[in-house]
Structure 1
Amino acid sequence: MSPDQSDTKGKESGPGSIVTMSVSRGGERDSHAESHGKVVQEDVTLEENFGYHQAMPRTKTFVNMMMMMVVLSSVPFGIGTTFYYSLVNGGAMVAFWGWVIMSLITICIAVSLGEIASRYPVAGGVYYWSFMLSPPKIAPLVSWIVGWLSVIGNIIVTLTANFGTTQLILASVNIYYPDYIAANWHTVLCSWALILVLGTISIIGQRYLPHVDTFCFIWIVAGVLATAITLPIKANAGRRSAAEVFTQFVDSGTGWPWGWQFVLGLIQGAYCLSPTGMLASMAEEVVKPELTIPRAMVAGIAFNGLLGLVFLLPILFTLGDLTTILGSVTGQPVPEMYLEATGSNSAAFGLFFIVLVNGLSEPSTFYTLRIPHDQQITPLVRFSRDGGLPGSKFFGKVSQRHEMPLNAFFLCAAVQVVLTCLYFGSSAAFNAFIGVAVICLGSSYLVPILVSLIRGRKEVAQGKFYQGKLGLFCNVVAIAWYIFALPLLSFPTAIPVTETTMNYAAAVFVGFALISLIWYLVWGRTHYRGPPISHVSADI
């Protein structure tokens, strides 16, 4: 157990209720009577009620959180870097309907997570929720698994942003030099350079990060509007009919049946909207987080869904020759799409620059996610401080000079540098990165939702965002999606499979799982007791 934790005791008074608990503050132990999870002493802040010291001023509102949800998903970048999945698996029809379907599914996920976040408005997020919702005997193990999934997901989603941006940079060269073919080592070196440059900026520019978030929100909305206005006016490749966009399935010869191709095309929306649960890591900064966080999750996903349609439809209605677009040697069809639609190198680069800037800001945003200048604690550092990672004291330490968890920052960068080397052996490495990111984040969301449902939703019923039968329906949809989708993300986009087109998502995922398992057997089995609060509840 880490120094930041405290010994906790609880006595049961009915299923799922907490009678007493202890939290550590300044080395002292205080016992607080609690009814339905609410501490009655007024001098203890909301965050401390759940076992953590309140270190952040609560200044962020619903509007701030909704804007952050838009920045995390970054629709132009998320859709732009994954266009290949939908276009190669059915064309415009799959891109449109796949986005609509994933937006609706993700709203269900947001409602499900929002109910739990309302009950436990803690920056620890999914691994804390999993601990509190699980039976005491298995709570540490469940929390351990989910904590590792969350940490890996956060690291890999940063890598996908970095790697996708690298491919966009190299793809931009093809607008003016169509004969240029980026070798694999070009991509790897460019990716490393991007990690170095953006990492340096993140370290020395901590105090400006809130302004970066504001700029990103404005840039995203303005960029979507610019695309929606420019492409219909230019339409150099002609305009597609509504029937072509909404009903015509295009088989690009991937070898998969058309139904499975459609399913594979859903990866575009699944990846773009995957950061849904990350908003919970800002709980310490939010006014009335038990309502603000869940409402912002749902409203943010709904807004992103509409924003995605505004971005997608002009592109799909002015889409040029699909064979040429999918023939991009960089694996990023966006530059060619813009070039054919506008008929101008300058206009194409101008629109493409919008997506590129989103990409350049995305790695910085994810690198420093929950590491603003006022020392908020990242999920990785929080889990490390609770004893979930090797070297918890080292990686949980916050550098006072740089006002950030510098050691944890370098750990993330080092893991990304190593994983990027996969591209030396496989041009489909980006597929693996996206797959692992969504698998890990999706699994970390699935577990608390599933445990809550199995245990009768008793705990979430005590939250202020409890949605009753609607929440139950959303739980079922979210669980069904993840059970279906997680294996899907390990499938290659085409068959027959070769060494260079193989999707290595499962291999990367299993590798991290083995590290987690080994560390649990060596240390966690006897030392890890979960977050700094215990609870007693009835067995399933």
Structure 2
Amino acid sequence: MEKPHDWQGGSASPPLVERRKSGLEDLANRRDSTAEDLLAAMGYTQELTRSRSTLNVAFMSFMLASVPYGLSTTLYYPLVGGGTTTLIWGWCLVCALMMCVAISLGEITSAYPVAGGVYYQTYMVSPTSVRTVMAWINGWSYTLGNIIITLSVNYGTTLLLVGCVSIFKDENGEGIWYPTPWQNWLIFLGITIICNLISSLANKWLPILDTATVIFTFVGVICIIVCGLAIANEGRRNAAWVFGNFNVTSGWSPPGWAFCVGLLHAAYATSATGMVISMCEEVHKPAEQVPKALVGALGLNWLCGFIFLVPLSFVINDINAIVNDDAAQPLPVILRSAIGNEGGAFALCVPIIILGIFCGTCCTTATSRAVWAFARDGAVPGYETLGLTKVNKKLGGVPLNAMMASMVVEVLLGLISIGSSAAFNAFNGSGVIFLTLSYVWPVACSLLLTKRKRIIGGKWQLGMFGVFCNVVSIGESSHHLPLEPCANFIPGWCLFAIPLFSMPSALPVTASGMNYASVVFVFGLLASALWYAISGRKYYHGPADGDLQRSVGELPPQYSSSD
């Protein structure tokens, strides 16, 4: 049989591709009046409440990142990895790279807008022969990433709160309060419970809350930069120093590598980019609204981060004093220096602390949907006993059991911080890696294995620009597109980021300062793969069946050389 023309164009296309394109376009037209038709075609019944608009989803995506908060709790990494140059330009670079990831995910989401997110999409765009195991491993990567990032956000809020209190000094110049690990865990527990209460009991008001918090965030940022620049108790730096100073104190060399390690700051703040896909079944027109929200929110995040970081850099006086302060949180130390007193610095940090709580609330919401969707397809052990697939209608359509199960796991993992800060930090870093892998997985399968044929007919397609964004996200080949799998492959951003963020932040490395994120990451992937081989393959057969899945499952062998 003659091989059909490639996906870039040609006089002949496989008949099934044309049928699939036509079918998706028909569903897209019907989606203007109802999203339930497409959901039913993908094998699911509408259970969650569709109450979010494009702006609601964009604001939630913004809140998932909560840029001023995310950047504040990780300022240490760029400050030791090059200073303000890494801080500002590293942020701009990572946002540009993550924009390509957001566009790539947006294209796939426009074809498969479902709460399973990248897990479901991986199944749909992978070759038929391997799509079940691909979906299983990526599903666990996505689920673990959601849970660990939520844990990381809530614990980060804990440490920021403690750091803000610790800037108050006694007559001997010592901080008035350095809590024990147990006290830190109890604060973390309280913040986690608050986030879960808000997410579950105020579900129908969350879109309004997200909108109000976005406004509150910009007001808080403006207060910080106006007060800091106006008072500038210890003077202001010049523009040449702010935008051009590069001084590595982390011990890493060469300087370019130190700059790369310092990018963890920006990667952490943008790591939640794709989590909002899990909200697809609560959006009126998900195939249009969620892709727009992914891209729009990232642009808003970049703007807010730039507005926040540049003025802050002008009032940084002594970087070494900031990163070595006992408070262990650079933001309150910078503001104490700029404002000239502890009370003023603490007051300016209050909006960031509140933002951290609402960020934790949004992460809790998205994580509960991800766990619920994964359990709905039978991939989570004990899902029937725990009732993880149940939706509480009294609370406005909340997967409450899935939310509570996630909270229990987060609280138990938080106990690790009592015994070992290094072990707990490993879970923090691994959350970014798990999510990064889960984002790149469907993009890689779509581009390299099925060569974008399985997203034909999606509502949001960008042609060759979409291909460019795919390549930046995952890598490129020396061959002309369409790419041959693994042929002279050069890693792109996501595949470069995974080993990069397994590196310790500074040298020389000590047992307590080592980054064990790679250990947690590899263990998680191996455990999920072995579990599938031993048990999962016997009962897990992929997402719920539907007309769309059956159509994709019929792709002929010549459709892809890897299929």
User: TM-score, with normalisation over the residues of structure 1?
Assistant: 0.88
- Whichever residue aligns with residue 353 of structure 2, its letter is L
In the aligned structure 2, how far is the partner of 1:120 from the partner of 1:470? 20
The alpha-carbon deviation at position 253 of structure 1 amounts to: 4.3
> Quick one: structure 1 residues 15 and 92, their matched pair in 2 at CA, closer, same or farther if it must change by over 3 Å?
farther
Following superposition of structure 1 onto structure 2, how do residues 377-526 of structure 1 map, counting pairs within 5 Å? Answer: 378-393=369-384, 394=386, 395-399=388-392, 404-429=398-423, 431-454=425-448, 455-479=450-474, 480-526=492-538
SS at match of 1:494: coil
- Sort the Cα spacing of 1:430 and 1:165 in 2 relative to 1 into closer, same or farther, 3 A: farther
**Superposition deviation, residue 270 in structure 1:** 0.8
Alignment counterpart, residue 225 of structure 1, candidates 222, 225, 228: 222
Deviation by residue 1:305-345 (Cα, 9 ceiling, x = unmatched):
01110011110011121122111334321110110111122
Q: CA offset at residue 476 of structure 1? A: 0.9
Alignment CA distance shift 1:442-1:471 (3 Å): same
User: Which 10-residue stretch deviates more, 383-392 or 512-521?
Assistant: 512-521
Could you tell me which residue of structure 2 aligns to residue 172 of structure 1? 164
Inter-partner Cα distance in structure 1 for 2:84 and 2:271: 22
Q: Tell me, in whole angstroms, the C-alpha distance in 2 between the residues paired with 1:400 and 1:65.
A: 21
Contact 1:182-1:330 at 8 Å conserved across structures: no
Is the contact made by 1:227 and 1:351 (CA closer than 8 Å) also made in structure 2?
Answer: yes
Aligned residue in 2 for 1:83: 75
1:53 matches 2:45: yes
State the one-letter code of the partner of 1:326.
Answer: V
- Which residue pairs with 1:25 in the alignment? none
Gaps of 5+ in 2: 1-12, 475-491
Q: Distance in 2 between matches of 1:312 and 1:430?
A: 27
* Number of matched pairs: 510
Q: Answer yes or no: is 1:195 the counterpart of 2:192.
A: yes
Aligned to 1:30: none
Q: 1:15 to 1:77 in 2, by over 3 A?
A: farther
Alpha-carbon offset, residue 173 of structure 1: 1.3
Residue 420 of structure 1, CA deviation: 2.1
Question: Which residue of 102, 115, 120 corresponds with 1:123?
Answer: 115
Unaligned 5+ segments in structure 1 are 1-12, 21-32, 372-377
How many angstroms apart in 2 are the aligned matches of 1:289 and 1:91?
Answer: 41
Shift of 1:95: 0.2
Q: Which moved more, 1:293-302 or 1:158-167?
A: 293-302
- Cα distance in 2 for partners of 1:41, 1:461 equals 15
Give 1:182 shift: 3.5
Instruction: Name the stretch that deviates more: 234-243 or 201-210.
Output: 201-210
Q: Which range moves more in the overlay, 385-394 or 126-135?
A: 385-394
- Counterpart residue type for residue 196 of structure 2: G
Structure 1 Cα separation of the partners of residues 412 and 48 of structure 2: 34
Q: Which moved more, 1:50-59 or 1:494-503?
A: 50-59
Q: String of CA shifts for 1:348-407, please: whole Å, max 9, x gaps.
A: 111111111111222222222376xxxxxx111111110111112222233456663333
Q: How does 1:239-250 map to 2 (within 5 A)?
A: 239-250=236-247
Task: Give the match for residue 338 of structure 1.
Answer: 335
Report if the CA contact (8 A) 2:56-2:211 is conserved. no
Picking from 300, 303, 309, the partner of 1:303 is: 300
Deviation at 1:16, TM superposition (A): 6.2
Q: 1:519 to 1:463 in 2, by over 3 A?
A: same
Q: Which moved more, 1:181-190 or 1:268-277?
A: 181-190
Q: Does 1:327 align with 2:324?
A: yes
Q: CA deviation at 1:458?
A: 1.8
2:235 to 208, 226, 238: 238
Partner amino acid, structure 2, of 1:422: I
Paired with 1:310 and 1:234, the residues of 2 have a C-alpha distance of: 18
Decide whether the 8 Å contact of 1:76 with 1:355 is kept in 2. Answer: yes
Q: Which region of structure 1 is more displaced relative to structure 2, 94-103 or 517-526?
A: 517-526
CA displacement 1:489-517 (0-9 Å, x = unmatched):
11111222222111121222233334423
Q: Does 1:151 align with 2:143?
A: yes
Q: How far apart, CA to CA, are the structure 2 residues paired with 1:429 and 1:103?
A: 29
Structure 2 distance, partners of 1:279, 1:197, is 21
Q: 1:276 to 1:217 in 2, by over 3 A?
A: same
Share of identical aligned residues, percent? 38
Checking the alignment, whether the CA contact within 8 Å between 2:82 and 2:248 is kept in structure 1 is: yes
Q: Which moved more, 1:58-67 or 1:337-346?
A: 58-67
- Deviation, structure 1 residue 258: 1.8
| Worse-matched range after superposition: 428-437 or 160-169 | 428-437
Closer/same/farther in 2, CA of residues 237 and 427 from structure 1, 3 Å limit: farther
Please give the per-residue CA displacement for 1:24-65, whole angstroms capped at 9, x wherever unaligned. Answer: xxxxxxxxx973574599696222122211235544332222
Q: Aligned-residue CA RMSD in angstroms?
A: 2.5
What secondary structure, in the 3-state scheme, does the structure 2 residue paired with 1:459 have?
helix
SS for the counterpart of 1:156 is helix
TM-score (norm 2): 0.85
Contact kept? 1:34, 1:40, Cα under 8 Å: no
Pair 194,69 (structure 1): closer, same or farther in 2 beyond 3 Å: closer
